[in-house]
């Protein structure tokens, strides 16, 4: 993806053109509003008629019809979605039921397990501490977690088995942010040792120990690749959560609550749900040869112990529950250049850094790379999906997804509770129909590039 380069002499940004200039002007305007106004923390995101921001009401309603079709076909129990453009809510709908057995309808304030969407908040927390001079993402992890001073890698042998060799370089915080530390989810070569240690998979809700203790035990197990050589999705952000605890002196739940959740008024985002909110928690279903309720108990494909249970392990990689409203507020803060309702959490320069390609040619697939906590769209044509270059996002194991499009000024959050979600193509349809509802594009016309 090409970006507008910085120049020593250039026209004032107010006269500049192009997506980066528009984003910069929006950030500048937002910062000015922040200085001149101090709105209440509980101020809701404004709403707008879609046509007022260049979108089609009729086409957005077609999205509701399509999603209802998945419910009628018994492929989804329910879902919730929210779309913002230019900082205004143009679509917020819930379809289906929160629980099939009780027939309780899904609502827009339903609470969902967001799994790996947790990672974005932890990544923001790390960057906040860098802005405060309390760490650098180039620092070795061992500076904050000494157990990572000497790590190892499991190397497969020809014919079977594996050897354990020393890591060739130190793992840095940037490696963890970009999932290039070589740390998986306890599978692959050396997976037997992870299984013996009782550390496999992303689910932590059943653990009767603080995250620091679990992460310390990870440090002595063999990783899947040498640091910096491959994209390996795994416990990286759980380890960053332990770093946040070590540097801040707070438990991860307290750090997030005081530094991100309360400033953004994310009132329904928790690691473990208050009992008073139990009825708002959507039920998990599995879609294989039919849609079935996932069993109770602990594990990745269960209801999970998010209300009852030890409530001790705060997983930075996959532990949070949230709503479409709350998560949209977090993403709008990023689209605004680190600010929402007068609260500046990050510098726009830091947000820009987070949403650039940090893994070079490693790549995640056609047209897609990875930044500091998000996938990054670098080539729309190569990706073969509607969107914009510079768009960033990710998703969660319970079949949820989100993205932010700084060019079209879009925020989209789509939450369901299906694991596994065999054969579901709703994510692709949501994307296609959201962009299909855009009637006035903010991108540069093809002939002007």
pLDDT tens, 290-301? 999 999 988 899
Q: Give yes or no for residue 41 having a pLDDT over 80.
A: no
Per-residue pLDDT at 139 exceeds 70: yes
Average pLDDT value for residue range 171-181: 98
For residue 9, name the pLDDT band (cuts at 50, 70, 90).
very low
147 pLDDT exceeds 80? Answer: yes
Rounded average pLDDT over 393-399: 98
For residues 38 and 401, which has the higher predicted lDDT (pLDDT)?
A: 401
| pLDDT surpasses 70 at 352 | yes
pLDDT for the residue numbered 27: 44
Does residue 19 surpass a pLDDT of 70? Answer: no
C-alpha to C-alpha distance for 19 and 52, rounded to whole angstroms: 20
296 within 8 A of 181, measured Cβ to Cβ: no
Percent of the chain with pLDDT over 90: 87
For the segment 149-166, the average pLDDT, to the nearest whole number, is 96
What are the C-alpha distances in Å from 342 to residues 109, 165, 175? 24, 50, 32
**Residue 284 confidence class, pLDDT cut points 50, 70, 90:** very high
Walk me through the domains of the chain, giving residue ranges and CATH numbers. Answer: 38-117+265-444 (3.40.710.10), 123-257 (3.40.710.10)
- Band of pLDDT at residue 432, cut at 50, 70 and 90: very high
Confidence tier at 31 by pLDDT (50, 70, 90): very low
First to last CA, the chain: 13
Pairing state between β 418-421 and 285-287: parallel
What's the rounded Cα separation, in Å, for the pair 302 and 283?
Answer: 10
**Contacts with 102 (C-beta within 8 Å, 6 or more apart), sequence order:** none
The answer to whether the Cα torsion of 372, 377, 379, 383 is positive or negative is: positive
Residue 140 has pLDDT above 80, yes or no: yes
Residue range 21-35: mean pLDDT, rounded = 42
Q: How far apart are CA 118 and CA 330, in angstroms?
A: 11
Residue 382 has pLDDT above 70, yes or no: yes
Find the angle CA(62)-CA(67)-CA(70) to the nearest 5 degrees.
Answer: 135
Average of per-residue pLDDT values in the chain? 91
Please answer whether residues 165 and 234 qualify as being in contact, where contact means their C-beta atoms are separated by less than 8 angstroms.
Answer: no
Q: What is the pLDDT of residues 312-348, one digit of tens each?
A: 999 999 999 999 999 999 999 999 999 999 999 999 9
- Is residue 10 predicted with pLDDT exceeding 80? no
> Is the pLDDT at 444 greater than 70, yes or no?
no
309 — pLDDT class (breaks 50, 70, 90): confident
Q: Tell me, what's the pLDDT at 21?
A: 45
The H-or-E segment that residue 114 falls in is: none
Q: Which residues of 395-419 are buried (b: 16+ CB within 10 A; e: fewer)?
A: bbbbbbbbbbbbbbbbbbbbbbbbb
Is pLDDT above 50 for 240? yes
Is residue 42 predicted with pLDDT exceeding 70? no
CA angle 78, 49, 432 (to 5 degrees): 50
Question: What's residue 427's pLDDT?
Answer: 98
Is the model's pLDDT at 407 over the cut of 70? yes
Is the pLDDT assigned to residue 2 strictly greater than 60?
no
Q: What is the pLDDT of residue 36?
A: 37
Please, where are the H alpha helices in 316-389?
324-335, 348-354, 380-383
- pLDDT value at residue 445: 61
Residue 117 has pLDDT above 70, yes or no: yes
């Amino acid at each position: 993806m090409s970006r507008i380069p910085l120049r020593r002499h250039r026209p004032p940004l107010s006269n500049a053109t192009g997506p980066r200039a528009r984003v910069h002007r929006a950030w500048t305007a937002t910062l000015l509003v922040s200085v001149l106004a101090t709105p209440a923390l509980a101020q809701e995101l404004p709403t707008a008629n879609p046509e007022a921001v260049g979108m089609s009401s009729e086409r957005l309603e077609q999205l509701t019809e399509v999603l209802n079709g998945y419910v009628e076909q018994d492929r989804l129990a329910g879902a919730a979605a929210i779309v913002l453009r230019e900082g205004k809510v143009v679509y917020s709908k819930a379809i289906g039921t929160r629980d099939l057995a009780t027939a309780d309808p899904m609502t827009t304030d339903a609470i969902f397990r967001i799994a790996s969407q947790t990672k974005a908040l932890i990544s923001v927390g790390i960057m906040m501490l860098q802005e405060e001079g309390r760490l650098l993402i180039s620092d070795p992890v061992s500076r904050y977690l000494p157990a990572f001073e000497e790590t190892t890698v499991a190397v497969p042998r020809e014919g079977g088995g594996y050897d354990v060799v020393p890591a060739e370089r130190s793992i840095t915080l940037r490696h963890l942010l970009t999932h290039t530390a070589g740390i998986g989810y306890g599978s692959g070569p050396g997976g037997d040792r992870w299984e013996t240690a009782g550390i496999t998979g992303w689910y932590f809700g059943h653990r009767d120990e603080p995250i620091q203790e679990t992460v310390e035990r990870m440090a002595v197990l063999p990783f899947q690749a040498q640091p910096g050589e491959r994209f390996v999705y795994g416990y990286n952000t759980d380890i960053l959560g332990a770093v946040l605890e070590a540097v801040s002196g707070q438990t991860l739940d307290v750090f997030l609550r005081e530094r991100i959740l309360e400033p953004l008024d994310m009132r329904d985002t928790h690691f473990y749900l208050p009992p008073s909110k139990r009825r708002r928690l959507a039920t998990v279903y599995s879609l294989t040869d039919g849609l079935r309720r996932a069993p109770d108990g602990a594990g990745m494909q269960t209801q999970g112990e998010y209300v009852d249970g030890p409530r001790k392990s705060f997983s930075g990689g996959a532990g949070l529950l949230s709503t479409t409203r709350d998560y949209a507020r977090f993403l709008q803060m990023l689209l605004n250049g680190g600010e929402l309702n007068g609260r500046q959490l990050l510098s726009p320069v830091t947000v820009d850094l987070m949403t650039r390609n940090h893994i070079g040619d490693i790549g995640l697939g056609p047209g897609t790379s990875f930044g500091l906590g998000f996938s990054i769209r670098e080539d729309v044509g190569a990706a073969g999906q509607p969107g914009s270059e510079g768009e960033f996002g990710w998703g969660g194991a319970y079949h949820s997804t989100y993205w932010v499009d700084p060019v079209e000024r879009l925020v989209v959050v789509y939450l369901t509770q299906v694991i596994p979600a065999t054969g579901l193509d709703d994510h692709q349809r949501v994307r296609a129909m959201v962009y299909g509802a855009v009637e006035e594009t903010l991108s540069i016309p093809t002939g002007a590039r």
